[in-house]
Amino acid sequence: MTAPNTLYMTQIRIKPEALMAFARDHDHHKPHDDDLGYTAHAWLAAMFGQLAPAPFRIFPPKGRSAAHPSWKILAYTTSPMDTLMEHASMYATPTTMAVTEAGYIAQKTMPGIIPKGKEVAFESMVCPVTRVGAAEKDVYLRRVETSGEGPPPSRLEAYLQWLHGRLEGAATMKNVSLQSFRLARMTRKNHPGGDEPRAAKSLVFPQAVLSGQLRVENEAAFMRLLARGLGRHRAFGYGMILLRPPR
């Protein structure tokens, strides 16, 4: 038997045309959207219900070869594959099931503990925003607004300070770089209140890919961090920490 808090990495191969058909059927993806995070979130929820793996990240195929049209999702979950597929086979609709290629959901067990002092390379696509009241804003823009008379920080400096806070004593970082940055537009549906319908709103998020080295400082906290992810909007494709051999 597996421990109740065992962490798994799950890999799902998806067919983009089937995902978009699912999105059209459920009115999720809009023509001006350039981020599939919400669509993937909705599909994972339709497929696996409350067991939907998160945090996750979508990877389009490299290049434009017609021989490799499928995309993949990598995700962390505490549910073993048999449990996930039992839910999907019982409750998912045929069009939901059609999004993934038959038989292509793979899973591995993550280490139960990564020891203190261990150094690993990492990469994470994050949404570095801070929330004041109901408003969210890029942490870089917040820092610029509050920099006063001094020179404003660089975007990387602002994101490094944000990342330091997210690590929360679980790990320390070094040699972190900003691999890519863009503003991503996503349409999301609000949770309804009472009998009100779910209204859609278009949002623009900062999307940053950070990579570097992490040193584990607290074993239990680091495993919780892997399972939880970094920052906000983790349910929509942000914050998954991918580990790689140290450089």
The reported pLDDT for the residue numbered 2 is 44
User: Is the distance from CB of 2 to CB of 80 less than 8 angstroms?
Assistant: yes
Residue 64, helix vs strand vs coil: coil
Residue 146 has a pLDDT of: 85
Domain chopping of the chain, boundaries: 8-109, 119-244
Q: Which letter does DSSP use for residue 226 in this model?
A: H
Cα separation, 159 vs 13, in Å, equals 31
What is the side-by-side strand order in the sheet with 100-109? 56-59, 71-77, 8-14, 100-109
- The 3-state secondary structure of 145-193 reads HCCCCCCCCCHHHHHHHHHHHHHCCCEEEEEEEEEEEEEEEEEEECCCC
The architecture in CATH of the region 119-244 reads 2-Layer Sandwich (3.30)
Separation CA 187–CA 31 (nearest Å):
10
pLDDT per residue as tens, the chain (247 positions): 344 579 999 999 998 889 888 988 887 755 555 668 888 999 999 999 999 999 999 998 766 544 556 789 999 999 999 999 999 999 999 999 999 976 689 999 999 999 999 999 999 999 999 988 778 899 999 999 888 777 889 999 999 999 999 998 999 999 999 999 999 887 666 555 444 545 556 778 899 999 999 999 999 999 999 999 999 999 999 999 999 999 8
DSSP state of 199: -
What is the fold, at CATH topology level, of the domain defined by 8-109? Alpha-Beta Plaits (3.30.70)
Report the first-to-last Cα separation within the chain, whole angstroms: 35
Distance CA 245, CA 247 (A): 6
